[in-house]
Amino acid sequence: MSQAPIRMRVNGSEVARTVEVRRTLADFLREDLGLTGTHVGCEHGVCGACTVLLDGQPVRACLLFAVQADGAEVTTVEALGTPEALSPLQQAFTDHHALQCGFCTPGFLMSATALLRDHPRPSTGMVREMMGGHLCRCTGYAAIEEAVKAAGA
């Protein structure tokens, strides 16, 4: 079969669709649900721009098929805050100039969200270990590390 019905929770809301089985979770979120905050950079799991939380774990949405998320809880950057009301983590990114073009940012935010949830005061090593799974072409990373630490403190 090449199409399948799926049902999942995305950012707390129940979603039901029928999708092609080869549809990646990243494309499903962006194209089928209009949640374009999750970005598609490399499509082979290296850049991290597509990172979302699947049942709370930071994962590459470009390396998952939407059908695999059937029955799961997916969290995207849209869940963190709004332009009018940034989350403390998002505010820290703004305050510390941890983004410029913003393309990599949603991925960093999702990984940082998982990290700070599990380790509210992460060591430098832990921050670097988690953020190491993301590429940024603009900032040089130092500001991102500061922002994540500041958000945890």
Indicate the residue among 70 and 146 with the shorter CB distance to another protein. 70
Q: What is the maximum alpha-carbon separation in the chain?
A: 50
Asked whether 54 and 48 are in contact (CB, 8 A), the reply is no
Q: Smallest distance, Å, CB 129 to another protein?
A: 6
Centre a 10 Å sphere on the Cβ of residue 68 and count the other Cβ atoms it contains: 16
Indicate the residue among 61 and 85 with the shorter CB distance to another protein. 61
Indicate the residue among 94 and 123 with the shorter CB distance to another protein. 123
Q: Tokens 């494309």 appear where? A: 27
Q: Smallest distance, Å, CB 95 to another protein?
A: 25
Q: Smallest distance, Å, CB 15 to another protein?
A: 18
Reported as half-sphere exposure (CB side, CA atoms, 13 A), residue 31 has a value of 12
One-letter amino acid for residue 111 of the chain:
S
Interface residues with another protein (CB under 8 A) are: 1-2, 4, 20-22, 24, 27, 43-45, 48, 51, 54, 57-60, 62-65, 67-68, 111, 128-130, 132-133
